[in-house]
Amino acid sequence: MASVLLHHSEAKVIFVDRALLDVAQEALRLVSEAGARPPVFVLISELLDDEPSPPDAKLQITRADYEYEVLLSSS
């Protein structure tokens, strides 16, 4: 569903909370496979998310163009 919305809206940027990272990564994968250009990916991490994940954690970040806080501080 998310991939359909991204594809048809021709989104240029997507802001993703770390809690929905797996959903977003799958949607971006499907958009890319459909031949569309995936949007810029901005990862939003909460303060509690700063702890490193264990190596066997389900959610691994495979792509993030920007991190939200870094993006804000660079303006």
**Where in the sequence is the domain holding 25, given as residue range(s)?**
2-49+58-73
Q: Which pLDDT does position 49 carry in this prediction? A: 55
Question: The whole model's pTM is what?
Answer: 0.69
Q: How many domains does the chain have?
A: 1
Dist CA 24 CA 50 (whole Å): 19
Run means of pLDDT, 10 residues per run, the chain, 75 residues: 87 90 91 90 75 46 77 80
CA dist list (Å): 32 to 6, 45, 58: 11, 24, 22
Asked whether the beta carbons of 11 and 42 are under 8 A apart, the reply is no
